[in-house]
Structure 1
C-alpha cells in the first residue's frame, strides 16, 4: 500500500512540474499537432538553434519534462505528440511509412517558423527523425538518436508481419492502461527510481490506440539504416543507448552508429527510456552534441 502511494506521488510530482509547459497546438498543413515547449531566457534569441524532441511508440511530448527543465533556459526546446498521439491528427494511411511522419514534421516546423533545428529522436522517434533528416538535411543541424528502433523494413515479409501482428494483438488485448501496467517496466533498468517508473507508466497509459496501431505499422515498414546511410556527410549524427537497454540493445544501436559513421555513446545504469531515468546524463548529451556541432560549423566557416 505504501509503495502504491509513493509511486502515485512520484507521478503527481512530475505532472505538477509538467504544468509549466502547457500543451499547445499548431496547424501542420491539413493536420493539427499538439506539442509542449520550453522557452526560458532565450525567447527572443533567434540565433540559438532549437532542440526538437521526438518520443517513442509508447510515450508522448510530456515524457521530456526533465529535458524542458534542464535545457529550456539555454535555448528553445520543443517536443511534439507524434501524429496519432495526444491531440495530434493521425496520418492518413492505415499502414504508414516514415516519410508520412516526416512530412508532418516538416509542416509543423514550418508553422512554428523553425528553419533549422537540432533533432533528437528516441526509439520510434528516431525513425521519424532519420526520415526527416534524409529528406531535409539542410534543416538538421545535428541528429541525436537515443535507443533508436531500426524498424523491420529490410526483413523478410513474414518477419515483418509477425512483429506487427503480435504488437497489434497485445494492444487489442490490453488497451493503453494494460500496456502501461504490463510493459512499462521493460523500458527501464533495474536502477530506475520509483519516480521514473511511475512517469513511464503515466505516459504509456495515455497513448491513443489508433495512433499506436499506426505506429506499429510504421515500425514494421521502416528501415532506419537506409535513411541514415543517405545522411552520411550531410548531417552530423550521434547514437546513444542505455547500457541495460533490452528493447534496442547496445549492439544493435552500435551497428546503426556504424552505418551513420557516428559517435556512439553507452550510458551507464540506463535502460530503453534512459532520458527519463538518467535525465542529467541525457540532457548533457543533447546539449553537448549540439554545442559540438555548432563549434565545428564555426571552425569550418
Structure 2
C-alpha cells in the first residue's frame, strides 16, 4: 500500500492506498486505538481485487489531531467524511476495527449515503454509560502508560495481548512497530472518545445498511461473547475468525479477507463509482 497525504480544511490527513489499474470496489479501513494505517499491510495482500483506503486517524502518524480536546466518535466521522469526499469515494464498505468500529458507526449515522455496508471487527463499544470513576480509569489507562514507560517498553508489554496466544513473532513485531508511532496527543484524544462515548449512541437499532460483526475467537480485549451480543442487538450476522486474537486481521489475514470479500462483493460488485480527483 502506498503512503499518501492530503491537506483538508481541517489539516493534513495521511493514509495508505492500494489501487488497481481498473475501477475496483472500495474498502475503507479504520484502525483501532493502538494502531495505524500500516497495520493493514498483511491483509492488503489478501485483497488484490479491491481498492483499499486505510487512514491514519486524526492524531496518528502525520495526520493532524482533531480540534476538539474531548472528541466524540462523531468528530472523527466528520474528518472521515471530508477525506472520503476529497477522494471522490461514492460507495464503499467501511471496515472499523476495535475503536474504528465506533468511528464507523458514527459515520454511518451521519453520512449513510456513501456507505454500502459496514463491518464491525472486534468492536470496541465504549464506556459512555459507565460511572465517572470507570470512565476516568479507561481514559488514563493507555496514554499515561505510554508517557511513563516510553514507546519501546509500552509496545513490548502491550502488543502480545492484541494477538492470539503463541502468535507469530513477526506479527507481534508488526503490532509493536505501529505502537511505536503513537503520539501522546492523538492517543489521549482517542482514549477520551473510548471512555466517554459509546457505539450504541450511533447504532441504536437495526442499521440502515447491511452490517457484519466479526471477532477473533481468542480476542482478550473485546471478547467474542460481547461481539455476538452486539450482532444480536443489531440483527446482524456474526462471523468468528478462528485462531485470532483482538487484531484478528493480523493474526488470520486470509480468514479475515474471506469474511470481507463474502460480505462486500455482493454489495459493491466488480467496481464502485470512486474517482480520484
- TM-score calculated relative to the size of structure 1: 0.85
Residue 269 of structure 1: how far off its partner (Å): 0.6
Q: Secondary structure at the match of 2:164?
A: coil
1:237 and 2:211 aligned: yes
Does residue 1:269 correspond to 2:243, yes or no?
Answer: yes
Residue aligned with 2:142, SS: helix
Moved more, 100-109 or 262-271: 262-271
Give 1:191 shift.
Answer: 4.0
Match of 1:154 among 103, 107, 129: 129
Equivalent position to 2:103, from 118, 128, 134: 128
Distance 1:192 1:41, change over 3 A: farther
Conservation of the 8 A alpha-carbon contact between 2:10 and 2:79: no
Contact 2:60–2:187 (8 Å) recurs in 1: yes
Unaligned 5+ residue runs, structure 2? 270-277
| Correspondence 1:63 to 2:39 | yes
Query: Which secondary structure state, in structure 2, belongs to the residue aligned with residue 27 of structure 1?
Result: strand
Identify which of structures 1 and 2 has the higher relative contact order when contacts are C-alpha pairs closer than 8 Å and 6+ apart: 2
* Aligned partners of 1:191 and 1:270 also within 8 Å: no
Q: 1:233 to 1:54 in 2, by over 3 A?
A: closer
Structure 1 residue 280 and structure 2 residue 260: aligned?
Answer: no
C-alpha contact (below 8 Å) 2:138/2:195 kept by paired residues: yes
Offset, 1:115: 2.1
Shift of 1:112: 0.4
What is the CA RMSD across the aligned residues, in angstroms?
Answer: 1.5
Pick from 192, 200, 203: which aligns with 2:178? 203
- In the alignment, does 2:191 pair up with 1:216? yes
Question: How big is the shift at 1:136?
Answer: 1.2
Look up the SS of the partner of 1:229 in the other structure: coil
Contact 2:13 2:56 in 1 (8 A): yes
Contact 1:150 1:224 in 2 (8 A): yes
5+ residue gaps in structure 1? 1-20, 296-301
What displacement does 1:142 show?
A: 0.8
User: Could you list the per-position Cα deviations for residues 34-87 of structure 1 after superposition, in whole angstroms to 9, with x for gaps in the alignment?
Assistant: 001001343xx2xx431000001111000001222221x312111000000001
Q: Which residue of 2 aligns with 1:77?
A: 52
Deviates more, 1:279-288 or 1:79-88: 279-288
Taking the aligned partners of 1:176 and 1:256, their CA distance within structure 2 comes to 33
SS in 1 for 2:204: helix
| 1:132-173, Cα deviation, whole Å (9 max, x unpaired) | 011112211110011000000122222211221233432221
Instruction: Find the counterpart in structure 1 of residue 200 from structure 2.
Output: 225
- In structure 1, C-alpha distance between the alignment counterparts of 2:154 and 2:101, rounded to whole Å: 21
Q: Which has the larger radius of gyration?
A: 1
d(CA) in 2 for partners of 1:155, 1:238: 26
Aligned twin of 2:272: none
SS of residue paired to 2:155: helix
Matches within 5 A, 1:90-169: 90-169=65-144
* CA–CA distance in structure 1, aligned partners of residues 117 and 134 of structure 2: 32
Moved more, 158-167 or 265-274: 158-167
Q: Could you tell me how far 1:176 is from its partner in structure 2?
A: 2.5
In the alignment, the residues of structure 1 paired with residue 80 and residue 220 of structure 2 have an alpha-carbon distance, to the nearest angstrom, of 28
